[in-house]
Chain A
Amino acid sequence: MIQLIHVSKSYDRRVALFDVTMEIKKGEFVLLMGPSGAGKSTLLRMLIGEERPDEGQIFVQGKNVSRLKQSEVPYLRRKIGTVFQDFRLLGKKSVFENVALPLIVQRSSEADIRRKVMDALRAVGVDHKKDQSPNSLSTGEQQRVCIARAIVNGPVVLLADEPTGNLDPERTAELIELFKLINARGTTVVVATHDPHVMKLVNRRVMTLMQGVLMPEQRGGDRVDA
């Protein structure tokens, strides 16, 4: 599903990623661990074509993302749901309108939008807030709206960049459960986090980046498992 082959990336003289090679199979749930500045966000941005590697190649669903034309990038992003750390929700639009955006840009039909948005909102448990502004919701609810937007068009991959950064341990556990649920439906999930607490919640493959270098693989979870 996702393959990185000897990928390197630098900004000026600072190395963000160095010779990273990894593979994530279809339907996997992978944790990408590492402290701030380790290169996790750079790696996720490369997967959605926001950044290009200086060296190496990146494949998503067999497509070489590092050689994708600019005009093809939007179509790649439609296959990948992204959950942002800062949520990136539009306060002037309702929860429903925010979640509908990925379907609107794909020119989905009105009926499809209504059905899929409500399904996504129900899946994350905020369907009763559909007419409210995201600004009136709690942090946890905003995070769920962001996830609903990421899964609304049934992506093959879900990327989450520090999704638990603003949540307390209880909400973090709920969120990880939600990701497991999404993963159980067949979506490949990659969660980037610096929070060691998250690692304990997931009994799956853990890849760790340290100063842009990929460390030997670990396995998470000592308490909860899906």
Chain B
Amino acid sequence: MRWLWYLFRAAWANLRTNRTTTVVAIVTTAFTLACVGIFLLSYVNLRNAAAWLQEDIKIIVYLDDRMSGEETRELEGKLKADRMVTGVRYISKEQALGEFRAQFPSDSHLLEGLGENPLPASFIVTPATGYQSPDAVNRWAERARTMAGVAKVDYNQEWIDALAGLIRYIELTAIGVGMILSAAAVTIIGNTIRLALFARREEIEILRLIGATRAFIRIPYFLEGAVLGACGSALALGILKLGFELFRQQISSAGRFQGIENMVSFFPLSICVAFVAVGMGLGVAGSVVSLRRFGEGRG
């Protein structure tokens, strides 16, 4: 097992020989990956918010004033039987007026002069799980509009569309920024590996001449890259967690955002593990780039 010990010791020696460069590489990689992490964290939280809003979506089916009680019950039955619907609540014209007065007490005088109650009766429809996506809701609303006795179908589409747009925008930005900053991380780690390769060029040459395979020569540098990437990404997670907690503290102390602090959340463990794994992968990629540039691997 001396060969295995040799590989680990060589990787450790690389990290120790260029101690300052190693620390600088870890810290710069950490800040670089933390920038990617900010976008990722925003993306994850906005997606959670979108999912939460989506789950809470209600479709209001306004009824034609000319509908009889029999027709209304018939429509209610039809809606309840729909597999895309999980809940149907009837709001009569009187209930609608009552709710309006309760919600807008200062504006209730606006309806006084009209004499007859102008608010229509409606059904508040809750889409079933699996049919809450913007597309599914849109399709269902289109179908509901064609039903007999339906005057108008309304739901908070603009809100959902705007949020979906924002998520898409952040997703694209995160991909773009992630790619650029990942390349930066690869370069930073790659340069550190190059220094290690330069410091050990004599040993590499000897190893080649005495019959070491390419893999044997390369493994210590892959290990070094993986360690740099893992340490950098772990430190980035630490920075992100610290920043996240400070942000949460700030919004909870600022009165008008109260409550939001309980809606935002940090990465779950699975994403944290994936984040470190990606960091390791970037580190190994840095090693590959440097080994290629260094020209190691000649026969």
Contact = CB atoms under 8 A, between A and B. Distances in A.
Contacts of A105: 3, 207, 210-213, 216
B206 A50 contact: no
B245 interface: no
B6 A104 contact: yes
Nearest to B212: A105
A90 B209 contact: no
A77 B298 CA distance: 13
B1 interface: yes
B299 interface: yes
A34 interface: no
Contacts of A101: 206-207, 210
A73 B299 contact: yes
A150 to B, nearest CB: 8
B119 to A, nearest CB: 81
A90 B202 contact: yes
Contacts of A82: 209-210
B205 interface: yes
B100 to A, nearest CB: 81
A101 B214 CA distance: 15
A48 B210 CA distance: 9
Interface stretch (A24-32, A106-114, A182-190, A207-215): A106-114
Interface residues of A, number: 27
A68 to B, nearest CB: 8
A67 interface: no
A33 B206 CA distance: 25
Given A74-B213, A105-B210, 14 more contacts: A48-B209, A50-B209, A50-B299, A70-B214, A70-B298, A71-B214, A73-B299, A74-B214, A77-B211, A78-B210, A100-B2, A102-B210, A105-B212, A105-B213
Given A90-B202, A101-B206, A105-B216, A74 B3 contact: no
A108 B4 CA distance: 11
A73 B208 CA distance: 9
Contacts, number: 59
Given A50-B299, A70-B299, A88-B205, A104 B211 contact: no
B204 to A, nearest CB: 11
A110 B1 contact: yes
* B interface SS class: helix
Most chain B CB neighbours (cut-off 10 Å) among A82, A90, A100, A104: A104
Nearest to B17: A92
Most chain B CB neighbours (cut-off 10 Å) among A48, A50, A74: A74
24 contacts: A48-B209, A49-B299, A68-B299, A70-B214, A70-B297, A74-B208, A74-B211, A74-B212, A74-B213, A74-B214, A78-B210, A88-B205, A88-B206, A90-B202, A90-B203, A90-B206, A101-B206, A104-B3, A105-B3, A105-B212, A105-B213, A106-B211, A108-B3, A149-B210
Interface in A95-133: 100-102, 104-108, 110, 113
B208 to A, nearest CB: 8
B213 A113 contact: no
B211 A75 contact: yes
Contacts of A104: 2-3, 6
Contacts of B211: 74-78, 102, 105-106
Interface string B1-23: 11100100000000000000000
